Chain A
C-alpha cells in the first residue's frame, strides 16, 4: 500500500501526530524516506504502523458513526414490577412520538430509560424486552456503543471540552461526514440560540455557557447532528429553555423521544404518558384534547414567567409586565 497523501483532510492527521506536513503529490513511501530518523522515532513509527494509522484515520472519516438501522418502530414488551407482578401492556413507539414518563422518585423511571438504552432482552431486573422494527435487535449492537440507538440528555451532563461552540459543532458535523460541516454547525447554533432565550455566539467557549444555554445546545445538537434515532431525556429543567420548541425540534426530525419529568407542562406535552409505580408501567394515558388545552394554558403561563423573569432582570417592577395578579 503506497497511497498518495493528497487528501486535504490528512493535514489534520499529520498535525495531530506531530509529523511534518507532506509535500504536494507525494506518496507514502517517499514521505517515509524523507522523514529524519528522529521524526520516525518520536512516535515509535514504522512504515507499516504509519500506513495503518493512516488507514484508521481515513476509515473513521469514510465510514461515519451512525445508526445501524432505519428505525421504524420501537416496541417494549411487558416485564414485571419490583415485586414480580407482571406488567399488563406492551408498548409501540413510532418516529415523532413524544412519550412522557411520570412517577415519584425511585419508582423506576430511570430503569425504563436504561432498559431502552441497553436494548434489554429480559435480562434486566424489569424483565422487559425491547424490539427494534418488530425484531429482536442484533446482539452485536450491545457490544458497540457506536451502534447503540440512543442519545441521552440528563441533568448531570455538562460540556467539558475546551473548545468554542462553533469549532465543537464543526467537529461533531465532521465526525458525521456531512458535506458542509460549517453550515450544519450554523443550523445547530441557530436552533440552540432560538431555544435558549439568551443569545450566544459561535465564538463562545463551551464551558462558559449558562445552564440554559448548555441545555439548549445539547438539545439542538441531539436533534440535528446526532445520528441516534431515539432520544432519552431525564428532565429538562426550566433554565429558561423554551421546552415546547425543544420538543417540536425532535418531532420534526422524526426522533422517538422518551422524557422523564416532574414538570406538568412537559408531562402534558407528549402524545402519551406512562405512569410508573413500583418499577412497572402502571398506566398508559393517551393525551386527551383536555390535556392539550391544559398544556396550552401552562405554556402561556410559562411564557408569562419568562417575560416576568426578563423584566425583573432588567430592573423593572413585576406589575409593569404582569399586572393581572391584582395585588
Chain B
C-alpha cells in the first residue's frame, strides 16, 4: 500500500484536491482511502465519505495534532491494509507550522494557496520545506505575475519539490497529481521509520491543560518574548 502524507494550512484546499485526485485514481482502478487528522471538529470525513472514499477521522483534541498523527499513523496504516487499500492518504492541517507529518521515504505533499502573502512560504516551515510535491491552489483568481512570484518563493524554500498549480473546484491539475501519486513509495517500513523533521517537546503547563494566566502558573520550559527595556526574565527559563 502506498502511504502519502498531505499537509497544508487550514482552508488551503487539501480536501478538495485530494477528492478530485483520488476519484481519478479510482477510475483507473486504484483502491484509495483517507485518514484525516483534525484538531477540533472537522466535517471533511463526511466529504470523503460522500465522494465514496473509505475514511478514518481522528480528532487530536488536547494533543498537538502532529504528535497525535505520529502516535497513530502505524495503526491507521494497519487499517488501510485491512481495507485492502492500494493507496492511503493521510491528510492533516498544519496548525502552528512548527512541525510536519512527512515521513522519510514516503511521498510528502504540501498544499498552499496563492492568496497567502508572498512571505508565507517562509512561515510554513517543515511541512513545505520537506515536501516532495507542492500543490498551489486558488491561482486562477490571482495574476500570472503573482503566481510566478509565489512559485519562486516556494522554490527559495524547497528547491527539490515539484510545484504544480491545481484547482480543487474544477479539478484542473488533479490528473497530473494523480500520476505522481501512482508512483509514490510503498509503506512497508513504517515502524522504525523516521519523521523528516522533529516534533517539538510539549512540556509547559499549558500543554497539560492549565488555563490560568500568570508567571506563577507556568511550569516547565517557558519561552519569554524579548521586550526592549523590560526585564522579562530572559528569553528562556525553567519555571518551577
Instruction: List residues of chain A with CB under 8 Å of any chain B CB.
Output: 13, 16-17, 36, 38, 43-44, 49, 53, 55-57, 59-61, 64-65, 114, 142-146, 151-154, 156-163, 168-169, 171-172, 175, 214, 217-218, 221-222, 225-228
Q: How far is the CB of B84 from chain A (nearest CB, A)?
A: 29
B231 within 8 A of A: no
Per-residue contact bits, chain B 109-139, to A (CB 8 Å; 1 contact, 0 not): 0000011011100100110010000001000
Per-residue contact bits, chain B 144-182, to A (CB 8 Å; 1 contact, 0 not): 111111011001111110111100000010001001100
A157 touches B149 (CB 8 A): no
By a CB distance below 8 angstroms, the chain B residues around A56 are 155-160
By a CB distance below 8 angstroms, the chain A residues around B176 are 142-143
Which B residues between 190 and 231 are near A, CB-CB below 8 angstroms?
197-198, 200, 223
B143 within 8 A of A: yes
A44 touches B148 (CB 8 A): no
B188 within 8 A of A: no
A43 touches B143 (CB 8 A): no
A-B contact pairs, 19 of them (CB 8 A): A44-B98, A44-B200, A56-B160, A65-B152, A144-B162, A145-B164, A145-B165, A146-B151, A156-B140, A158-B142, A158-B143, A160-B141, A169-B145, A214-B143, A217-B143, A221-B145, A225-B145, A226-B145, A226-B148
By a CB distance below 8 angstroms, the chain B residues around A44 are 98, 125-126, 197-198, 200
Q: How far is the CB of A201 from chain B (nearest CB, A)?
A: 18
Q: How far is the CB of A41 from chain B (nearest CB, A)?
A: 8
Top-10 shortest CB links A-B: A175-B152, A60-B155, A60-B156, A16-B122, A56-B159, A59-B159, A221-B145, A145-B165, A151-B144, A57-B156
- Known contacts A44-B126, A153-B144, A156-B140; A38/B223 CB under 8 A: yes
Tell me, in angstroms, the Cα distance from A60 to B121 when the chains sit together.
13
Number of residue pairs A-B, CB distance < 8 angstroms: 115
Tell me, in angstroms, the Cα distance from A163 to B159 when the chains sit together.
25
- Which of B117, B152, B163 has its CB near the most chain A CB atoms (within 10 A)? B152
Choose one: A49, A145, A168; the contact of B149 (CB below 8 Å).
A168
Count how many chain B residues have C-beta atoms less than 8 Å from C-beta atoms of the other chain. Answer: 43
Choose one: A36, A65, A163, A214; the contact of B155 (CB below 8 Å).
A65
B236 within 8 A of A: yes
B143 touches A157 (CB 8 A): yes
B46 within 8 A of A: no
Choose one: B115, B119, B152, B158; the contact of A16 (CB below 8 Å).
B119
- Known contacts A158-B141, A171-B149; A143/B162 CB under 8 A: yes
B179 touches A143 (CB 8 A): yes
B125 touches A161 (CB 8 A): no
A218 touches B117 (CB 8 A): no
Tell me, in angstroms, the Cα distance from A13 to B159 when the chains sit together.
14
- Known contacts A157-B143, A158-B142, A175-B149; A145/B198 CB under 8 A: no
Choose one: A38, A57, A161; the contact of B118 (CB below 8 Å).
A161
Q: How far is the CB of B214 from chain A (nearest CB, A)?
A: 23
Per-residue contact bits, chain B 76-116, to A (CB 8 Å; 1 contact, 0 not): 00000000000000000000001000000000000000110
By a CB distance below 8 angstroms, the chain A residues around B197 are 44
Closest B residue to A46 using CB positions: B198
By a CB distance below 8 angstroms, the chain A residues around B147 are 145
Closest B residue to A56 using CB positions: B159
- Known contacts A44-B197, A53-B129; A218/B155 CB under 8 A: no
Tell me, in angstroms, the Cα distance from A13 to B153 when the chains sit together.
11
By a CB distance below 8 angstroms, the chain B residues around A143 are 162, 164, 176, 179-180
Closest B residue to A156 using CB positions: B141
- Known contacts A38-B235, A161-B117; A146/B163 CB under 8 A: yes
B136 touches A226 (CB 8 A): no
B115 touches A55 (CB 8 A): no
By a CB distance below 8 angstroms, the chain B residues around A168 are 145, 149
Per-residue contact bits, chain B 49-86, to A (CB 8 Å; 1 contact, 0 not): 00000000000000000000000000000000000000
Closest A residue to B119 using CB positions: A16
Choose one: A38, A172, A214; the contact of B148 (CB below 8 Å).
A172
By a CB distance below 8 angstroms, the chain A residues around B163 are 144-146
B140 touches A222 (CB 8 A): no
A160 touches B146 (CB 8 A): yes
A53 touches B157 (CB 8 A): yes
By a CB distance below 8 angstroms, the chain B residues around A152 are 144
By a CB distance below 8 angstroms, the chain A residues around B159 are 55-56, 59-60
Closest A residue to B99 using CB positions: A44
- Known contacts A38-B223, A142-B176, A146-B151; A157/B142 CB under 8 A: yes
Closest A residue to B133 using CB positions: A143
Q: How far is the CB of A242 from chain B (nearest CB, A)?
A: 19
A17 touches B122 (CB 8 A): yes
- Which of A64, A172, A227 has its CB near the most chain B CB atoms (within 10 A)? A172
- Which of A43, A114, A161, A171 has its CB near the most chain B CB atoms (within 10 A)? A161
B149 touches A172 (CB 8 A): yes
By a CB distance below 8 angstroms, the chain B residues around A169 are 145
A144 touches B164 (CB 8 A): yes
Q: How far is the CB of B204 from chain A (nearest CB, A)?
A: 14
Tell me, in angstroms, the Cα distance from A23 to B193 when the chains sit together.
39
